[in-house]
Amino acid sequence: MWAWTLSSMTQTTAWLGRIALNFLQSLGKRAFFVWAVIPALPYSAWRIRLLMKQVYFAGVLSLPIILTAGLFVGMVLGLQGHHILTTYNSEEAVGTMTALSLIRELGPVVAALLFAGRAGSALTAEVGLMKSTEQLSALEMMAVDPMKFVIAPRILASIIALPMLAMIFIATGVLGGYVVAVGWLGVDDGAFWAQMSEQVDWQADVINGLIKAIVFGILIAIISLYEGYESVPTSEGVSRATTRSVVHASLVVLGVDFILTSLMFT
């Protein structure tokens, strides 16, 4: 009886220790990955054509989904805002509400989530497949550093693309809210814009939203490329890495968003 309790306790402790060690190890691997990528980034900034191609894949091809999602999110905000604000007889504030929630939270976060699903997964799958078909090893054989040639341009492209997409998302969202609130529900046109521009601050709101988008771009880029680069080079491994990339990136975006919000808007 004693021996059994003791051994099960040791096993539980060992299990806990294993989880902690694995966690630390994966953190360390990511840190090493980031450490290796940073010196490669300046090289990729000079290779405009390579960078342009990646911005095209990550940014331009995400445009349709960003535009559609932005429009609908803005329209829903207009509708819900109108419903809530009419009970306080202040439906003119719907513009302020739509713009503030889009600029501070929904713009950067929803754009980042969509970006992680649309572009992050593609990056993981692409790099994972490059690894499993040994293209990365082949590059190394030709004395081409895959960090500089494959990873860095993709990371830089994501960091450039996401803030742009977030800005476009916000603008489309505000227009969507305008269409619903003014065009459909009959809120006064002038009051809609006037209240909005009075309450939305360029520095405190727009710049902070932009900073959020840049931070999310960095996080998504690192997570999705790390998962691809370190994926198990089998078809199952690549599929798992892709799933993990989207899940991790989304959760990290939401968690970091909370931290940034608590730092920025006190």
Partner 1 sequence: MTRQVKAEIGVGLLVLLTLVSMVFIALKVSNFNAMQDRPSYQLEALFSNVGGLTVRAPVKVSGVTIGRVAEISIDPISYRAKVLMDIYNDYDDLPMDSSASILTSGLLGSQYVGIEIGGDEQVLADGGRFDYTQSALVLENLIGRLMVSLTEGGDK
Q: Which one of 40, 55, 106, 223 is in contact with partner 1 (CB under 8 A)?
A: 55
Q: Residue 108 Cβ, how far from partner 1 at the closest point, in Å?
A: 13
CB 217 within 8 A of CB 253: no
The answer to whether 52 contacts partner 1 (rule: CB under 8 A) is yes
Token pair listed for 165: 């997409």
Q: Residue 56 Cβ, how far from partner 1 at the closest point, in Å?
A: 4
Three-point CA angle 152, 154, 160, nearest 5°: 105
Q: Which one of 60, 138, 247, 259 is in contact with partner 1 (CB under 8 A)?
A: 60
- For residue 73, count other CB atoms closer than 10 A to its CB: 23
111-170: which residues touch partner 1 (CB under 8 A)? 161, 164, 167-168, 170
- For residue 188, count other CB atoms closer than 10 A to its CB: 14
Region binding partner 1 by CB under 8 A among candidate stretches 27-35, 194-202, 226-234, 255-263: 194-202
**CA pair distance 203, 254, nearest whole angstrom:** 23
The answer to whether 200 contacts partner 1 (rule: CB under 8 A) is yes
215-244: which residues touch partner 1 (CB under 8 A)? none
CA 144 to chain centre: 29
Residue-wise burial string across 132-163, b where 16 or more C-beta atoms lie within 10 A, e elsewhere: beeebeebeeeeeebbbbbbbbbbbbbbbbbb
Token pair listed for 251: 């959760």
Q: Which one of 68, 197, 234, 243 is in contact with partner 1 (CB under 8 A)?
A: 197
Give the chain's largest Cα–Cα span: 80
The answer to whether 201 contacts partner 1 (rule: CB under 8 A) is yes
The answer to whether 53 contacts partner 1 (rule: CB under 8 A) is yes
Region binding partner 1 by CB under 8 A among candidate stretches 133-141, 192-200, 243-251, 258-266: 192-200
Q: What letter does residue 179 receive in the DSSP assignment?
A: I
The answer to whether 103 contacts partner 1 (rule: CB under 8 A) is yes
Minimum CB distance to partner 1 smaller for 151 or for 174: 174
Residues in contact with partner 1 by the rule CB under 8 A: 49, 52-53, 55-56, 59-61, 63, 88, 90, 99, 103, 161, 164, 167-168, 170-172, 174, 193, 196-203, 205-206
